[in-house]
A and B are shown apart, each in its own frame.
Chain A
């Protein structure tokens, strides 16, 4: 079980440049697998341009109470990068003046940002159609100060999206750490108890499924049925939707793929499953990702690879929706993760 982030362990893969180097070479050079750019060109989809902006996804910091084996953020208790109140204020200004309909808070564990509740209250006052918090569930049980999070979420009409890699303890704990399954079940029961996830309830509770290993997710609908049946039969737990998200070959998941000698087969599977139909609905088309320090990215994955937006708008302080619409989305081979099969985004399959 992991205890430290790649950064803390001073692993070469904690460097975005090193990761991009791995992704640009290897089988994409010596075995002639097509680059993501080549695959887009073959389908007349290059360059990738954004659709109108709908989702502002804000990363409140890389600190987390868990050290998950597949984490693309390399998050953990040892990460100190945290969004300041000043940067949050800039995000609120953008929320007021933009056409954003969905606000999506992520991390790390976003709740660990000391100004998390202040920020949620302010954003709630401004009003947003869909206000998402990506909660890892265990944070609710981690410390007494977080025990009232379910009520806090309810009071601010938060749409809770939580990770749950499997409906069995063994697989969940192996990916996310010892004790995570039981703690997640307790948190889900608390959320259900106040109305989250129940049939016909407006308090939305969705789960995210990431494969726990070097394989791709299968049909999202059939997984959802399996999850619903198992969680209800075993624990009486209900939820609304299951989002199946493909693990992207970056950061800790890339480290795992290389160490377990699964990297080449995994990349081959992603390239083979490239689906041009998925491209138009991937998250970077309608999302803007804001880093903890206010820099802007096409998605949370590009954020972790330090692929910042280029001129003219690179930082939230310079936000200009019209100018941003003209940008070209930055890509590398990790993007194959979002276009494989039924596609993958923070809202699950896209086809």
Chain B
């Protein structure tokens, strides 16, 4: 048994989740595949969104997967880092906007 919670080799086993619930697992992977097809957004644009979200949700498997996917698509490191900053800006913005709640509460409780 691995002594860390995350093992890079587990990413290859992702498909095995279907073995314990075939219906839901299959529906998930079908959905996942469909989402990343070319649509109103290109697969390239979706790959960059996925990379940004991977960082925001702090999923090491997703970061590995979408860095590699970006390389395969010829996405440059500058584009990748900008996508990560876009994710980070939203995440830090989401934290900071709660500062308004803090200010409201502060004012309400203060004479």
The segment from A84-92, A126-134, A212-220, A250-258 found at the interface with B is A212-220
List of A residues within 8 angstroms of B72 by Cβ: 211, 215-218
Whether the pair B73, A222 counts as a contact (CB closer than 8 A) is: yes
**In the complex, chain A residues 223-256 whose Cβ is within 8 Å of any chain B Cβ:** 223, 226-227
Tell yes or no: A182 within 8 A of B by CB.
no
User: Nearest Cβ in chain A — how far from B42, in angstroms?
Assistant: 8
User: Nearest Cβ in chain B — how far from A79, in angstroms?
Assistant: 30
Beta-carbon nearest neighbor of A209 in chain B:
B74
Tell yes or no: A46 within 8 A of B by CB.
no
A166 touching B71 in the complex, CB below 8 Å, given contacts A222-B44, A268-B12: no
* Main secondary structure on B side of the interface with A: helix
Tell yes or no: B21 within 8 A of A by CB.
no
Q: Kindly state the separation between the CA atoms of A222 and B12 in the bound complex, as whole angstroms.
A: 26
Tell yes or no: B76 within 8 A of A by CB.
yes
Contact-size category for B: 10 to 19
Whether the pair A215, B71 counts as a contact (CB closer than 8 A) is: yes
Whether the pair B44, A211 counts as a contact (CB closer than 8 A) is: no
User: Nearest Cβ in chain A — how far from B31, in angstroms?
Assistant: 21
Beta-carbon nearest neighbor of A230 in chain B:
B74
User: Nearest Cβ in chain A — how far from B8, in angstroms?
Assistant: 8
List of A residues within 8 angstroms of B76 by Cβ: 168, 171
Q: Which 9 A-B residue pairings sit nearest by Cβ, starting from the closest?
A: A218-B72, A215-B71, A218-B73, A215-B72, A215-B68, A226-B74, A223-B74, A216-B72, A213-B71
Q: 24 pairs across A/B with beta carbons < 8 Å? A: A166-B74, A167-B74, A168-B76, A171-B76, A211-B71, A211-B72, A213-B71, A215-B68, A215-B71, A215-B72, A216-B72, A217-B72, A218-B72, A218-B73, A218-B74, A222-B42, A222-B43, A222-B44, A222-B73, A223-B73, A223-B74, A226-B74, A227-B74, A268-B12
